[in-house]
């Protein structure tokens, strides 16, 4: 079975390595130029696999390369570019895609972020058959994981959905080779789609209940970083802990520094912030950051 792998970053590299180690017939690797594709490029070249690094997957050179390589299967390993329908028509078996949510919930490019922000306690990953829609194709397999109260988007991805995703892609390829890969239609009545989780979605509203503020911060950690302003400067929050119990001070006010962490009042609790990042001050431990930025107890975020 002739396989093309399209991917980027560490996930793309580890997927490629796993398939190579299993002796799969990888006939082509497609990855971005620069840092995002560096590891995949090196592995492809050291393994004598045809390499293509287009600016976009819709470029004419990609279609030509697909036709030359004559793939049976294309595997998309964390691909943010949208593939044109002309590419989906080429592999004889089809194209499968890794998506880090339990589809049809959390379609879109920020499925992990929104699962945390919306307070989900379970999420997972889906290997789906790609079609011309955005995460709308038939489901091949799914894996579930718990979202713990302390999980961030970063811990959820790197500790759970990354390693599980590699195994799931390998399992999916095995199912396809055996002729036992299902195609389960998604239930559109359960579908949700959220926009990319960028800075426009990451501003903290201190009037919201404590749990919602906490979920936003951990859902935006490490990217894009939930933020508020103080003294006209944008400050981003990381490594948050939620302490329940009503604070006797307005939400957003700095209460104290406790064991190097900044304590901030919420509506229905308090936040202990481990790290902060500013426009002028790099990310660092909250107490150190506060000293450099001049933040003190009694000052209030959002004013």
Q: What CATH superfamily classification does 199-293 receive?
A: Formyl transferase, C-terminal domain (3.10.25.10)
Q: Looking only at Cα atoms, what is the longest distance across the chain?
A: 68
Positive or negative, the CA dihedral 225, 227, 233, 239 is negative
Q: What number is the average pLDDT over the span 32-50?
A: 97
Token pair 């049976």 is found at: 72
Asked whether residue 67 carries a pLDDT value surpassing 90, the answer given is: yes
Check for a shared fold between 2-190 and 199-293: no
CA distances from residue 100 to 109, 115, 130, 291, 297 in whole angstroms, order as listed: 9, 10, 14, 39, 40
Which pLDDT band, with edges at 50, 70 and 90, does 257 fall under?
Answer: confident
- Residues 147-205: pLDDT tens digits? 999 999 999 999 999 999 999 999 999 999 999 999 999 999 999 999 999 999 999 99
Helix (H, G, I), strand (E, B) or coil at 146: strand
Burial profile 180-192: b = 16 or more Cβ within 10 angstroms, e = fewer: ebeeeebeeeeee
Are the beta carbons of 63 and 39 closer than 8 angstroms?
A: no
Q: Which CATH number fits domain 2-190: 3.40.50.170, 3.40.50.720, 3.20.20.450, 1.10.1660.10?
A: 3.40.50.170
Asked whether residue 259 carries a pLDDT value surpassing 90, the answer given is: no
Kindly state the helix (H) or strand (E) to which residue 222 belongs, with its residue range.
Answer: none
- Where are the domains positioned within the chain? 2-190, 199-293
Which pLDDT band, with edges at 50, 70 and 90, does 13 fall under?
Answer: very high
Q: What are phi and psi of 113, to 5 degrees?
A: -55, -50
- Residues 269 and 248: their CA atoms lie apart, in Å, by 10
Q: What number is the average pLDDT over the span 268-277?
A: 97
Beta bridge partners of 74: 4, 95
Asked whether residue 228 carries a pLDDT value surpassing 90, the answer given is: yes
pLDDT of residue 168: 98
Say if residue 222 is preceded by a cis peptide, omega within 30 of 0. Answer: yes
- Residues 234-256: pLDDT tens digits? 999 999 999 988 888 999 999 99
pTM summary value: 0.96
pLDDT of residue 180: 97
State the alpha helices, DSSP H only, in the chain.
Answer: 9-21, 35-46, 60-69, 85-88, 111-117, 153-156, 162-178, 210-219, 286-293
């Amino acid at each position: 079975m002739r396989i093309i792998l399209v991917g980027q970053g560490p996930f793309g590299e580890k997927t490629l390595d796993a398939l190579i180690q299993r002796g799969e017939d990888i006939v082509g690797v497609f990855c971005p130029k620069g840092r995002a594709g560096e590891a995949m490029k090196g592995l492809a070249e050291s393994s004598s696999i045809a390499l293509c690094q287009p600016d976009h997957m819709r470029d004419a050179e990609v279609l030509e390369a697909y036709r030359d390589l004559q793939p049976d299967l294309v595997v998309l390993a964390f691909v943010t570019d949208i593939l044109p329908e002309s590419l989906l028509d080429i592999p004889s078996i089809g194209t499968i895609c890794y998506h880090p949510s339990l589809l049809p919930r959390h379609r879109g490019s920020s499925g992990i972020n929104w699962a945390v922000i919306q307070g989900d306690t379970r999420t997972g990953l889906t290997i789906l058959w790609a079609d011309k829609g955005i995460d709308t194709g038939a489901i091949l397999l799914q894996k579930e994981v718990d979202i713990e109260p302390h999980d961030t988007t970063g811990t959820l991805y790197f500790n759970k959905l990354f390693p599980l995703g590699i195994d799931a892609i390998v399992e999916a390829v095995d199912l396809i080779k055996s002729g036992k890969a299902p195609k389960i239609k998604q239930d559109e009545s359960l579908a949700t789609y959220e926009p990319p989780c960028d800075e426009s979605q990451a501003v903290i509203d201190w009037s919201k209940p404590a749990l919602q503020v906490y979920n936003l911060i951990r859902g935006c950690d490490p990217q894009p970083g939930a933020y508020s302003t103080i003294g006209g400067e944008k400050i981003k929050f990381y490594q948050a802990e939620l302490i329940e119990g009503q604070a006797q001070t307005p939400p957003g006010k700095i209460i104290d520094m406790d064991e190097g962490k900044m304590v901030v009042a919420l509506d229905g609790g308090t936040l202990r912030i481990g790290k902060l990042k500013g426009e002028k001050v790099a990310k660092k431990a909250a107490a150190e950051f506060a000293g450099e930025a001049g933040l003190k107890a009694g000052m209030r975020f959002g004013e």
